[in-house]
Structure 1
Amino acid sequence: MSLNKNLLLLICGTILGFNLSAQESKINSPEFLKYENSKWVDSIMATLTPEERIAQLFMIPAFSNKDEAHKQEILEQIEKYKIGGLIFMQGDPKTQLKLMNDYQLASEVPLIGAIDAEWGLGMRLDNSISFPYQMALGAIQGEELLYEMGVEIAKQIKRSGLHVNFGPVVDVNNNPQNPVINYRSFGEDKQNVARKGIAYMKGMQSQNLLATAKHFPGHGDTDTDSHYALPQINHPFERLDDLEMYPFKELINAGIGGVMVAHLDIPALDSTGAPSTLSKPIITGILKEKLGFKGLIVTDAMNMKGVAEGNEPGEVDMKAVLAGNDLLEFSDDIPKAIAEIQKAIRNGLISQAEIDARCRKILAVKQWVGLDKYEPIPVKNIEEEVNSPEAQWLNRRLVEASLTLLKNEHSILPLQNLDTLKIASVSIGASKTTDFQKSLNLYTRVKNFQLERDATASEIEELNEKLKDYNLVVLALHDFSIRPRNQIDLSPVVQKFISERAQMKNNIFSLFKNPYVINSLENIENSEVLIEAYQDSELTQELAAQLIFGGIGASGKLPVSIGDKFSAGDGLDLKGGLRFKYTAPGDAGMDAKKLGSAIDSLMQQAMSAKATPGGVVLVARDKKVVFHKAYGLHKYSDTIPVEKTDLYDLASVSKISSALPAIMKLYDEGRFDLQAGIDDYLPYFKNSNKAGIPFRQIFAHQARFKPWIPYWKNTLRNNGSYKWNTFKKDSSSRYPVRISNDLWLHRNYQKKIYRAIKKSPLEQEAKYKYSGLVFYLLPGIVEEITGEDYVNYLDRNFYNKLGATTLTYNPSKKFELERIVPTESDFNFRHEEIHGNVHDEGAIMMGGVSANAGLFANANDLAKLMQMYLDMGEYGGQRYIEASTLKEFTRTQFPENDNHRALAFDKPYLEYRGEDSNTARDASSESFGHTGFTGTMVWMDPQEDLLYIFLSNRVLPTRDNTRLYKLNTRTQIQQAIYDSIEN
């Protein structure tokens, strides 16, 4: 029979005196019912007295954050009355499981354990995951993720020793002022609510965890909280049947095991004014007989004023049993409740057989969830298991799928042309830099401002003045409460600020609040860009920032209507994948545990061996950053921890990160020829022994060039002192090149370096020999070809467009020293600790600007450039270099000469050499990258779409520290990355 027919028959049957037979509906009975007359249930029933069978109908509250006296009180009720179960409230998983094991040991009949875990264990327990609230889940398109969430939540609840989840909430929230359901509902669309509820329920029950739909017959259209008073719903039966009860009917038909009854006064269903929890017409007449529900019927908490007001403890429980409930939670007086039910039996209001049937139902649930074979559950590792990488990734996917883009005028999102944007962010309601702002800064430089919720007019005026310097402003409205309630707690002037900004161009709004708040924000619907994130958490903030820059897309649809501003179902689709997505390893087909534990172990080994005081490791696959972690300290002797945002000296990684992208771009433009020689671009080299040697050979390191020249040694006298005409202690127009605070180099010394390179002899044989000599010349060649300052050219054509704002020379001019990791203590040349300046002596003598060394960056910004290479010249919707060029520059050039190198890029050895190899065993022959003297490594593998970055300062305190090489830390980590890829 079709769903519509069922509904029509139900309504008709109701109008004609409730003559509809439940047997006419196709209902999937709860699975546990098959155990009602099992041998195990029979055996337990035989041990229970009539009084104890009544006691099985009760579930009392238990806390895992209270004292020993509370535990003893619970134990007394278990041993004295043989209660049926416990509902756990606040605490933590580890303590809860320990207690549940103790309680089970004390109980002759296994206890059923329940918890309100509507959005996971985090709803009640510390140190556990909270998945998105149901309002956010209602925005998700499709139900697959809801099923997965149900499975995961079931596993976590069972791991913590429990068996029932009092969820999902399937109330249709059609009252924006609802104080108790609201964000706990999937929304106002009854069909969406039903679909989401069924998926969530089926996921849980697939793991033999009993799901409980609540709050029957529907708590969505109230403006009263039943915890404090009895709400009244004055809709006619037809409306209640068509809307409020619709999801319950669908879940019953789908086989849900439990239904929780709300405390509501519904005259159309029961004219006596009795709370629905105590209403036989509602529970027995409608839920059992008319809807055909045979599963477990549970009361909402019996201590809530919606039912307790005007009803004595004990008596109210008896009334609930008479109404048709099977399981009562939060009874205020168990002995009195038992006595009242016994009295009702004696008075013929209910039979012992009816009590026995309900007891059997509860025992059947216990057998279905596995309590017939109960064994204590191990406590060890519980918190690690309920916070598993798989659960974290699922949570991330749920949040990502919920994000709803309500406005995107002129297709502002995803942001493009970063080099044209000067961006400010304003976090409203925050007093310090938010996770949202930190995440925005992963993509490019963003100036952060905070605006307190009670900011004054003068503070707002000052902020507006500062914002005039920016051509794009990203505003975030944060929540100020634990739960995303429908309230605005902002001063009038802050609300006015929001209203004015919403009407301006180039302002992006992201709301980390209940969507109903939109109706209270004047003009917010007129903003060019409006993102609804539903709640305020670290994860929603991170992902909303990624949405703005195109790291992820948007597919969420508004689950509720917002006045006349937006309708349920509104939401724009936006494609992601434009830039990095910061995500979990599972998102890229990698094992998070293998990846994290292996890298952690290898880094700890390196730091313990004093191979490096710290470092940063970044891993990306399929343009997804799946691992990015900082380790250790800046120096062995200090307490400054390494941060992911810290800048490292890239050393020879500069070779592929500075002049090389410029050269490849000029090659695309036909302005650079690989068959040309140095003399073709620097006439000074005509008539030298290097004239005519093609760049193809030079970049592949088989041009017979000497590996290096110790330029700095030529500046010293035999006694070790500096030559007076080369250095001075103070700067001047003749000595403008800073080597150290007390050492300034003559302005013409760069010419001496050129001369030394020009005059250096050539090796006898044209075979592979690594040489950095030409990279001192490349900045000059780029300037000669382009007529533009070398650094400006790189910034304009690459770094600024990529949003790679820490890729820079001479970083101490732009960044605080605390953000720059020091390198060697130089006792030979500069006689100081190298901090904020390039480690390489030749590069510092070039003013810190060379293609041989000198570039600094944090791992994240360096990754953007490397990802552009990995994507064959494209990133962020822009093409920087032609794919054919990158393929040419990254292929091995002279394999016939036993030379594994590409053009400037390093490649794996032609044959793997074990521990002596330059890469991991599994690095493909297509892979390419480079290493650096200071302990850096970048490597890209197109075959696996894999990017690996390792930054360290292994040269601290001295370059003689070669432990990093001996441990093979960099390549071992690289192999661990390959090992984590799931086939």
Structure 2
Amino acid sequence: MQQTPPHQSTTRRQILAGAAGVAAAFGLSSGTAQAAAADARTQREARTLLGRMSLKEKIGQLFVVEVYGTTAATSHAKNKELYGVSTPAEVIAKYRPGGVIYFDARRGPDNLKDPRQVAGLSNGLQRAALRTGARIPLLVSIDQEGGSVVYRMLEPATQLPGNMALAAGRSSDDVRRSAEIIGTELAAMGINQNYAPVADVNINPDNPIIGVRSFGSDPELCSRLVSDSVRGYHRGEVASAAKHFPGHGDTDVDSHSGLPVIKHTREQLDTIDLPPFRAAIARGVDTIMTAHIVVPSLDSSEVPATMSKPIVTGLLREELGFRGLIVTDALDMGGATEDFPPDVAPVRALKAGCDQLVLAPKADTAHAAVLKAVESGDVPESRLDASVLRILEHKIRNGLFPRPYVDEKRAERVVGNKRHAADAARITDRTVTLVRNEGKVLPLSGGDHSVLVTGWGATQVADLTAAVETRSGQSATALETGAAPTQVKIDEAVAAAADHDVTVVLTNAAASAADKGAAQASLVKALMKTGTSVIAVAVRNAYDIRRFPDVPAYLATFSYGKLSVASVVDALYGDLAPAGKLPVAIPALDDPDKTLYEFGHGLGY
């Protein structure tokens, strides 16, 4: 018999609506009464479910796994390698995990082809979950942050600007609408947990992993927009997750490959890093994801935050009062695996206070380690139960009982629809930021122009060239030079520039100290010596101008998506007046104490 709580509603809004009638009787506001009644009912139902679960079923709920294939019945060699079974449905049946996480072909699982297929995969995995054991629905999760860096669902899903681009626009309405569109489309495909928004305050220009994923370098702006983003996801009926606690914004090490150390004092953490997380909690964020970073001022043992009880339990759970779900960042990242092998990391994270363990390597080893820890008393079963209760409450609160299925045909109608696309284009237009315009190079006017489009990104160079050529009287030539232009490519671009009136050069992470950035900067400087009008467009980090501060004109898009390219072309010709304001300050390359452009800087026409 299927074991589900009686009378469970199917959406967050319906859950809250049922409590409105008790407000007058207790003298409470309608919102307070709704929340209190829904909370009490959710807790009762979760405890009933917990009482029916075996120890192994409880442990299964802790894990969030990846599966390979486009349907629940797809056989894939990688499933066999990782889990000893062939299909995603068999993975669910074997481990009874609390959740799955989707990836596209860039990582390998290849879960994401088109909306109807994704909805079918979600339904198939949910059916597999409801046919086993305690029959608990899955959290189906994804990293769909928006922007050009961390996003899994490609077109036809609506492509929205990332956080730093949205911050350049400074519009709370745009942030909310962007998150709502993403959430609505994910929910239509049966994805009920988005690991977004990023709540890190990016104060380090050399940060290799956060950068444009952050709302910027100002804690107040980040806090406001993180709160707006959480609200938008909730409007879209998908759970939100603020990450990466306690703040990954001031590092020059990528936690995917190493273990960053954040040297902020507690006072600095309180003024810089923690405010966006406090704002997310106040807004009712569902989930907070921990970071694989060392913060000595919070834990002198210098273990990663994910493994730190003083940080996860002491700071997040007790001091900040977060009652929702705490999940780890991926446990297969270098910041977790460096000192914590597969039989240690999941136990340490659980002891620290994490509720769900994302992508724990060697699934059999990880499950056995947690089981052994609980059976031996190293981890009290009460500690396990506390996490499982929160997981169950999260699922109930987000309407996964009794039927977590979605309409597969409807997914096709919702994802990438015309209204979403139009809103995304308007939002993107408001993010373009004009940083420098010496001699009023921009907007291009006064008749016909021949334009050389060069620099980073084969697709982006081609798209921008094609867009220029659609304009009356304009001709354009595409010459992509790559992420690290060779001297041969630089010479070729210089020769081509001599035959054109204007050169538009795209840069991506040119401010980086790596050889690639230096090579891109050499290209820009060589083009500037040709005497033609040079317009640099930074399609990721606005910091690129540190490498070539004398470039005549400089636009920042914070994204290299199609919509950003289209907005840039409109800005080049004055059809769009750049309205963005820098969400970060840009320091000089040779003197970090000198500021080239202040936070909030932005020119217009």
TM-score (norm 2): 0.81
What SS does the aligned partner of 2:477 have?
A: strand
**Residue 424 of structure 1 pairs with residue 424 of structure 2:** no
- Pick closer, same or farther for the CA change 1:297–1:191 going to 2, 3 Å: same
Shift of 1:460: 4.8
**Residue 259 of structure 1 pairs with residue 288 of structure 2:** yes
Q: 2:90 aligns with which of 76, 79, 82?
A: 76
Where in structure 2 are the equivalents of 1:812-823 lying within 5 Å?
A: none
Shift of 1:398: 2.1
Shift of 1:373: 2.8
| Alpha-carbon separation, structure 1, partners of 2:126 and 2:422 | 33
**Residue 150 of structure 1 pairs with residue 179 of structure 2:** yes
Where in structure 2 are the equivalents of 1:535-574 lying within 5 Å?
A: 535-563=559-587, 564-574=595-605
Shift of 1:321: 0.7
| Alpha-carbon separation, structure 2, partners of 1:334 and 1:459 | 52
Shift of 1:39: 5.0
- Pick closer, same or farther for the CA change 1:309–1:547 going to 2, 3 Å: same
| Alpha-carbon separation, structure 1, partners of 2:257 and 2:491 | 42
**Residue 62 of structure 1 pairs with residue 90 of structure 2:** no
- Pick closer, same or farther for the CA change 1:375–1:292 going to 2, 3 Å: closer
Alignment length (residue pairs): 534
Range 284-293 or range 122-131, more displaced: 122-131
The match for 2:138 is: 111
The match for 1:745 is: none
CA contact 2:137–2:400 (8 Å) conserved in 1: yes
Shift of 1:294: 1.0
Shift of 1:350: 3.6
Shift of 1:559: 1.4
**Residue 307 of structure 1 pairs with residue 307 of structure 2:** no
Shift of 1:466: 2.2
The match for 1:165 is: 194
Shift of 1:50: 2.6
**Residue 278 of structure 1 pairs with residue 311 of structure 2:** no
The match for 2:208 is: 179
Letter paired with 1:76 = E
What SS does the aligned partner of 1:210 have?
A: coil
| Alpha-carbon separation, structure 2, partners of 1:147 and 1:457 | 42
- Pick closer, same or farther for the CA change 1:32–1:59 going to 2, 3 Å: farther
Range 227-236 or range 42-51, more displaced: 42-51
Shift of 1:355: 1.9
Shift of 1:278: 0.6
Shift of 1:82: 2.2
Q: 1:87 aligns with which of 76, 101, 121?
A: 101
The match for 1:459 is: 492
| Alpha-carbon separation, structure 1, partners of 2:190 and 2:247 | 30
What SS does the aligned partner of 1:426 have?
A: strand
| Alpha-carbon separation, structure 2, partners of 1:396 and 1:489 | 33
The match for 1:511 is: 538
CA contact 1:31–1:257 (8 Å) conserved in 2: no
Letter paired with 1:102 = G
| Alpha-carbon separation, structure 2, partners of 1:362 and 1:129 | 30
| Alpha-carbon separation, structure 2, partners of 1:126 and 1:193 | 26
Shift of 1:492: 7.3
Letter paired with 2:601 = D
The match for 2:550 is: 523
Letter paired with 1:572 = L
- Pick closer, same or farther for the CA change 1:286–1:443 going to 2, 3 Å: same
CA contact 2:452–2:496 (8 Å) conserved in 1: no
Q: 1:53 aligns with which of 44, 51, 58?
A: 58
| Alpha-carbon separation, structure 2, partners of 1:507 and 1:312 | 51
CA contact 1:303–1:330 (8 Å) conserved in 2: yes
What SS does the aligned partner of 1:129 have?
A: coil
Larger Rg: 1
The match for 1:44 is: 49
The match for 2:18 is: none
Deviations 1:99-147 (A, max 9, x none): 2211211212111111111118981134323312222122112210110
Letter paired with 2:271 = D
- Pick closer, same or farther for the CA change 1:285–1:540 going to 2, 3 Å: same
Shift of 1:49: 1.3
Shift of 1:162: 1.4
What SS does the aligned partner of 1:271 have?
A: coil
Where in structure 2 are the equivalents of 1:823-838 lying within 5 Å?
A: none
Deviations 1:657-692 (A, max 9, x none): xxxxxxxxxxxxxxxxxxxxxxxxxxxxxxxxxxxx
**Residue 386 of structure 1 pairs with residue 418 of structure 2:** no
**Residue 329 of structure 1 pairs with residue 353 of structure 2:** no
CA contact 2:498–2:532 (8 Å) conserved in 1: no
The match for 2:464 is: 436
**Residue 534 of structure 1 pairs with residue 558 of structure 2:** yes
Shift of 1:384: 4.6
Shift of 1:342: 3.8
Shift of 1:54: 2.2
| Alpha-carbon separation, structure 2, partners of 1:530 and 1:144 | 27
What SS does the aligned partner of 1:402 have?
A: coil
Shift of 1:148: 0.7
- Pick closer, same or farther for the CA change 1:460–1:435 going to 2, 3 Å: closer
What SS does the aligned partner of 2:598 have?
A: coil
| Alpha-carbon separation, structure 2, partners of 1:296 and 1:124 | 22
Structure possessing the higher relative contact order (Cα contacts under 8 Å, 6 or more residues apart): 2
What SS does the aligned partner of 1:146 have?
A: helix
What SS does the aligned partner of 1:569 have?
A: coil
Letter paired with 1:94 = R
Where in structure 2 are the equivalents of 1:339-350 lying within 5 Å?
A: 339-350=368-379
Range 490-499 or range 389-398, more displaced: 490-499
- Pick closer, same or farther for the CA change 1:412–1:179 going to 2, 3 Å: closer
| Alpha-carbon separation, structure 2, partners of 1:137 and 1:355 | 39
CA contact 1:28–1:254 (8 Å) conserved in 2: no
Shift of 1:535: 2.5
Letter paired with 2:462 = T
- Pick closer, same or farther for the CA change 1:162–1:33 going to 2, 3 Å: farther
What SS does the aligned partner of 1:154 have?
A: helix
Shift of 1:508: 4.1
Deviations 1:201-244 (A, max 9, x none): 11112333211100000111111111111111222221122111
Shift of 1:185: 1.2
Shift of 1:362: 0.9
**Residue 222 of structure 1 pairs with residue 251 of structure 2:** yes
| Alpha-carbon separation, structure 2, partners of 1:571 and 1:267 | 37
The match for 1:447 is: 475
Deviations 1:65-88 (A, max 9, x none): 595133835333422332211111
Shift of 1:150: 1.3
What SS does the aligned partner of 1:72 have?
A: coil
Letter paired with 1:332 = P
| Alpha-carbon separation, structure 2, partners of 1:278 and 1:406 | 42
The match for 2:27 is: none
- Pick closer, same or farther for the CA change 1:460–1:280 going to 2, 3 Å: closer
| Alpha-carbon separation, structure 2, partners of 1:387 and 1:156 | 8
Letter paired with 1:278 = M
**Residue 99 of structure 1 pairs with residue 113 of structure 2:** no
CA contact 1:456–1:493 (8 Å) conserved in 2: no
Shift of 1:461: 5.4
Unaligned runs of 5+ in 2: 1-31, 80-84, 105-111, 130-134, 588-594
| Alpha-carbon separation, structure 1, partners of 2:242 and 2:193 | 11
**Residue 243 of structure 1 pairs with residue 269 of structure 2:** no
Letter paired with 1:75 = A
CA contact 2:469–2:476 (8 Å) conserved in 1: no
| Alpha-carbon separation, structure 2, partners of 1:304 and 1:280 | 20
CA contact 1:64–1:89 (8 Å) conserved in 2: no
Letter paired with 2:100 = L
CA contact 1:114–1:166 (8 Å) conserved in 2: yes
